[in-house]
Amino acid sequence: MAKLIVIGASVASTFVKNPEWIIRGITRDPSKPSAQALVAQGIEIVKADLGDTDSLIAAFKGANAIFAVTDFWTHIDPANNAKAEQAGKTINEYAYDLEVRQGMNIADAAAATSTLQTLEKFVYSALSNAKKWSKGKYTWVYHFDSKAAVVEYVKEKYSQLDAKMSTLQVGEYATNWKKMPILGPQKQPDGSFLLVKPCDGDAPVPFVVTEKDTGSFVQALIQSPPGVNLLGYGSLIGWAEYMRLWTSILKVPGSFRQVPVEEYLEKSPSLLARELHEGYSYQAEFGWDGGDPNVVHPNDLDIAIPTTSIEEYIKGEDWSSIF
């Protein structure tokens, strides 16, 4: 008998062709084109809101597995500036509170008696606790700490849900440069390319092609015993090696250069700059996972996980906007 999994669109393709699973997605607006496109693939779409626990309980009814994701950056929105100011908080703190609240709502719904009756695996998209693992040195990595706070909430409040939970720490998106071109190699007047970052070029970075590999990580965690804290990536290399591969594969001259964080972020809004400053510094000093000894890597699992290497990504990507 097929089992029911409640997941987001980012991992639906991994499960949609597997007859062992019935897929349910949630959205605030089932009528929007992106939702209807999923319906056309045979995916059940139900209306639910991360701000409404009751709607999530209804969406989770009968689920055997849940993969839950929240997004800090959607709350860094000019529309929230006035609300943050009214609350006496920075927009970063306000976004942190919103994401934590949404994550707690998911946990509350997943821990509801009606959900636990059928739930076997709960996979939460998390990140390391920067404040904890840096021993208080970095306190403004809100986009990491918000997710870590939800994991702690589950562990402290819901022992039954915790017994079914694994966490997935998704690494550095290989496609981040598409949303922010400044994050990618920049063409220079002499025709060469330069990649600048405010960190040691040899410090390992867990690169991941999310649209291809996140589903594989989730599937592996569902197939594994609960209690796994997985760092999901396809390549663990430094930015200098990334640039060496990039120039070699695309057959163009180029190099990597480390610059001071202040110089790198000088054109960013002050509050965003501080968030990114501490984020880069934390990752360079403590690693993406903060040095948490309980974190495992894809090769550590007994299940083979197909991943996309950074070489494969570079070869298959359209870089015309940079050239």
- pLDDT tens over the chain, length 323 residues: 789 999 877 788 789 888 999 999 999 999 999 889 889 988 999 999 999 999 999 999 999 999 999 999 999 999 999 999 999 999 999 999 999 999 999 999 999 999 999 999 999 999 999 999 999 999 999 999 999 999 999 999 999 999 999 999 999 999 999 988 988 999 999 999 999 999 899 999 999 999 999 999 999 999 999 999 999 999 999 999 999 999 999 999 999 999 988 888 887 777 788 898 899 899 999 999 999 999 999 999 999 999 999 999 999 999 999 99
Gyration radius from the chain CA atoms: 20
Enumerate residues 6+ apart whose C-beta is below 8 A from 226. 121, 122, 163, 164, 165, 166
Distance CA 299, CA 215 (A): 16
**Across 115-192, where does the E strand assignment appear?**
121-126, 165-170, 172-173, 186-187
Residue 160 in tokens: 């039954």
Q: What region does 291 belong to: left with phi over 0, alpha with psi -120 to 50, or beta? A: left
Residue 315 in tokens: 């070869």
How many other CB atoms are there within 10 angstroms of residue 301's CB atom? 16
Predicted confidence at residue 203, as pLDDT, reads 92
Distance CA 296, CA 168 (A): 10
